[in-house]
Structures are given as structure tokens and as C-alpha cells.
Structure 1
């Protein structure tokens, strides 16, 4: 029986892809530049499966143009690039890569919080520019972190891992908001609050909710106005959960002290108003970027495809 075709839509780790060749004919787009929607559609002609990142959009239009597509395996946790109703109507096999990036992302979340609150980015740029003339009593005075209140919007796997680090390592009080109480809350002595109360109370806020229509601009101008002027906002979720234009305005006006962002609306483009904010620490979607973690993400996506080739359920279905 002829092997089914599989499109690998991004440059990944070639050694991890090799086991797939026993079951699939691979078409590898060995580039960090994503395929355009038209190019993706063209490359998927005759393909049974797609191994993708969170960039490639799989929606009703693409599915109508790619009648042979039966499976999509993502190397990412987020799957807002999938039109789930359309995929489910087709009966596609779907998987993502949860769990394997939790600890690396949580480490980075705390690093981003500390960098923003303690003005690390501003200080580093100041030194590199040759502007430092010596110690001053209030130079780059930032906000305290230890013993303050951390608000976590979305206490899922990663949100809880950040909260554990903050609570046990920095003695922070944890408050959180989401639709239902989290089973992690008891061990963290975390208080479940409505989002409006969380924003008013917290000294620092980390956003860790999935992106979708219900969470688009979950943090916008009205929500930012509730926060303390001394507060820090960190977004590790997805671009679009936070209204970047409203955030830039709050940062520029002094309505908010600092922000740390690893994700952006329309990335890799970053809104120029955010780029103009010295009190924003901006990183290029690297929260999960340790080599072991990124390899584990690809391995889990490969494992799903290997399982499907053998007629078994994959380890991480959506």
C-alpha cells in the first residue's frame, strides 16, 4: 500500500522526523518563514496529514480545497489556528503538545515579570548606550515583587506553575480568575476572584488564557484602567488576548507602570506604539524556548502521527 503524504510545514528537528519516513512520504518546508495560505493550500494537495506550528491556519476554506487532508498534528499547545467546528465536521484527527512546555514557559513567565517590574530592560539599554555615570539613590527604581500580590488570569497548567514559583519562591499572595475554581488553588492558598476584582487588587498580573472569540481583547482599555498605576502586566498567552494599542497607551500615559510581552497581535509584527514604550519588555515568542522543551514539543507531535499511522489513538488529542 502506498504511503500517505505528510506535509511538515515548518523547519523542525530533522532527526526527530526520521521515524515518520517509515509510514509517510514527507514533504518538508525546511524554512522558518511560514507558508502563505495559498502556498499551504498548494502544498497540501494530495496530503493525508499536516505537521504544523500554531501559525498555519486550517479553516473551512482550506479544508474545502484540500479534500485528502485527514490529520493535523501541532507542535504547539495553542490551537487557535484551527477552525475546530470545520475540522470536526471533516472528522480530522487533531493533536497538540500540552504539558511538555509547562515548566520552561513558567520559568520564562517569572523572568519576564521580574524584568518588567524591576526595569531590567531599561537598565540594560542604559548601560549599553554608555549613559551610566554612576550609582544614584533612585536610579531605575522599580516595583517590589516578593511579598506582593500576583493575579493570574487563567490558572491552568502554566498559570499554576507560575503561581507555584511566585508563592513558594517569592512569598507572593495568589489571586486568580477563570470560569471555574482551579484544583491547584488549595495548595497555593489562592483566592478565586472575578476578573475585575483581581485587576484592582493585584500588584502584578499574568495572563495565561487560551485565545478565541471569548478572550479577544480580554484585557483592554477598561480593564487596564482598573489596575494599579504601579502594576505590571505580563502576557504569555496569545497575541489578541491583550489589546496592544490600549496597553501602549496605558504605558505611555503612566496609567500602568510596566509590561512584559512574549506574544503580540499580528506577530511577528509588533505595534509601533509598543516599540516606543521603554517600560515594556518585549520578547519574540520564546517562553518555551529551551532546546529540550522544543525537542519534546516536536517529539510529541511526531508520536501522535506515529500512533495514527499504526491505528492507535495519539497521546495528546485535541
Structure 2
């Protein structure tokens, strides 16, 4: 009997795909860093029974209309805004993602980006490497304290909860804003719910962890930055489209806020000439929120397990929508 055919849009760790190798024939795009071209993806989707995709792959109506045999698509991310869910549901295609396994690593990165922004760590490292360290001054590259400050978390899901736990170690007061209140989380962690506007006015660090929805698109705009303290920092590790980048640039350059730490941009990869990348008080990263070796391998394995289960007629472990 012929095994189902699975196409993977990046080169992944072979060992992490073991659950899938046992039940399917696998082919991968040969590059780990370069995305699979759209033309190649369409060609492979036309004959595939399943796809393992990246967040950078657009899985839309046009692609799915050319993929008559696809039963399941596993996205190597917790987010899935690159996938047209309605088009998938119409064709009874199961869509899976990788929640939970990346929670702790992403929270680590979010707090690291907060620390790097506040204490000017990247700027200081470059200062030394470029040969500027010729002496010492009492305020040389002085940044902002993190301990005992107020952290505002926008989007109190599992990553937000993990971030709040880290903030407790720094004796931070934690406010959060979410679509719905989390009484259990409030009781367990001592965090306080706040309206979005109130959170902005009170927080020293605002961390965006919300998914991208019509409601959250451009939520960090000129009005939002006008409400923030001029000593505050915005940290975004969710989706670039939640931030109006022109408004952020204006807020940072005019002193409305102190700076920002960005792991995501509206257009990725971001151009090195992008206005925000030119600012010393904006720390930028290439969308590496979950990028530890251990976590990425767990994400790969979860994708493989999800596809293998569906191809064998079983329920996926982490479906977004099921056939």
C-alpha cells in the first residue's frame, strides 16, 4: 500500500520527524533559511496528503483550491494567521498548530527583550565592539531599572502568565489586559486586571502578547503612545501588525516613550533601512520568540505527531479546526 505523501516547506531536524516517517513518505524544501517559493509550494500541494508549513507560508484559498488531497496542515507556530481557516474548513482540512510547547521559551525571550531594552544591553555591546569604550563615566550607557517597576501585559494567555511569573522574581507590579478576566490567574499570581487605557498610563513596560485579530490590529497607535509614560518601553513579541510602526517611530523619536523592543514587524524580514532599525533605543530581533533548539525540536515533533495521527484517522493533539 502506498504511503501518504507529506511535504514540508523547510528543512527540519530529521529525528524530530520520526513519528511521521513511520506512516508517510516525506519530502522537504532543501533550505532551512530560505522559504519555499510559492510556485514550488503549489506544485507540491497538488499531490500532497498533508503539509507541514511555516508562519511565512501563505495557505490561502488559491493554494487550497489546488490541493485536492490534503487532509491536514500542521503549522510550525502557535499562531495561524497565515492560514485561511474558512477555506480549510470548507474542504474538511484539519489545521494544527504548536501551542504550549513554546510557552516558556517565548516568555524567556520576552523578558530578555525587556531587559535588553531597559538596560541598553545591545547598544552597550556594540559600543564596546566598535571601540568607543575609552573611559568610564557615572552615567555611561545608563538605562532604566526593571525591579519594582510596573509591567503591563496585553494578552494574558499562557505566555502572558509565564511572563508574569518571571516578573514576580523582579518584584514587579503586574497589570494585564485581556478579552476576558482571569480570576484564577489573579489569585495565583497577584496580577491585576486593567482596562487597556489604564494599563498604558500606569505601566513602565508594556508587553504585547495578543494574537492578531481585527480588534488587535494597530491597537498600538498614536493614541496609545500618547497615553504611555515618556519613560515607558513597548515590547512586542506577538505580531507586527498589532503596532502602527509609523506612530511608534514618531513616539520614540519625539520622546513620547523611552524606547521599544521588537521581535516582530509588519513586513518580515524587515529591511535594515527600516526607520525603526536605525534608532539606538529600539532593540530589534528577527522573530525568534520560541527559538531555542530544544523548543523548536519539540514544535517539529508535535507537528509530525499531529499529521501522523490525522493520516491514521485519529484526532490531532492540537487542532485549530478539525475535519
Band the TM-score falls in, shorter-chain normalisation: over 0.9
Instruction: Quote the Cα distance in structure 1 between the aligned partners of 2:143 and 2:305.
Output: 45
Instruction: Quote the Cα distance in structure 1 between the aligned partners of 2:226 and 2:126.
Output: 29
Of the three residues 278, 290, 293, the one matched with 1:291 is: 293
- Where 1:6 maps in the other structure, the secondary structure is strand
Map 1:188-199 onto structure 2 (within 5 A).
188-199=189-200
Following TM superposition, where does structure 1 have runs of at least 4 consecutive aligned residues deviating by more than 3 angstroms?
Answer: none
Map 1:217-232 onto structure 2 (within 5 A).
217-232=218-233
**CA deviation string 1:72-126 (max 9, x = no partner):** 0112111111111111111111111111111111111111101101111221111
Query: Which residue is equivalent to 2:57?
Result: 56
Instruction: Quote the Cα distance in structure 1 between the aligned partners of 2:270 and 2:110.
Output: 21
- Where 2:291 maps in the other structure, the secondary structure is coil
Tell me if 1:8 matches 2:8. Answer: yes
- Where 1:215 maps in the other structure, the secondary structure is coil
Query: Which residue is equivalent to 1:37?
Result: 38
Query: Which residue is equivalent to 1:135?
Result: 136
- C-alpha deviation, 1:185, in angstroms: 2.1
Instruction: Quote the Cα distance in structure 2 between the aligned partners of 1:30 and 1:38.
Output: 15
Instruction: Quote the Cα distance in structure 1 between the aligned partners of 2:10 and 2:297.
Output: 14
Query: Which residue is equivalent to 1:66?
Result: 67
Map 1:43-192 onto structure 2 (within 5 A).
43-167=44-168, 169-182=169-182, 183-192=184-193
| Counterpart contact for 2:122–2:283, Cα < 8 Å | yes
Tell me if 1:274 matches 2:276. Answer: yes
Tell me if 1:315 matches 2:311. Answer: no
- Where 2:319 maps in the other structure, the secondary structure is coil
RMSD: 1.4
- Where 2:49 maps in the other structure, the secondary structure is strand
| Counterpart contact for 1:12–1:30, Cα < 8 Å | no
- Where 2:264 maps in the other structure, the secondary structure is coil
* TM-score (normalised: structure 2): 0.94
Query: Which residue is equivalent to 2:203?
Result: 202
Query: Which residue is equivalent to 1:23?
Result: 23
**CA deviation string 1:130-183 (max 9, x = no partner):** 11222211222212210010000001000110111002x101001011110023
- C-alpha deviation, 1:214, in angstroms: 2.3
Instruction: Quote the Cα distance in structure 2 between the aligned partners of 1:21 and 1:142.
Output: 50
- Where 1:174 maps in the other structure, the secondary structure is strand
- C-alpha deviation, 1:295, in angstroms: 0.5
- C-alpha deviation, 1:42, in angstroms: 1.7
Instruction: Quote the Cα distance in structure 2 between the aligned partners of 1:45 and 1:110.
Output: 42
* TM-score (normalised: structure 1): 0.96
- Where 1:158 maps in the other structure, the secondary structure is helix
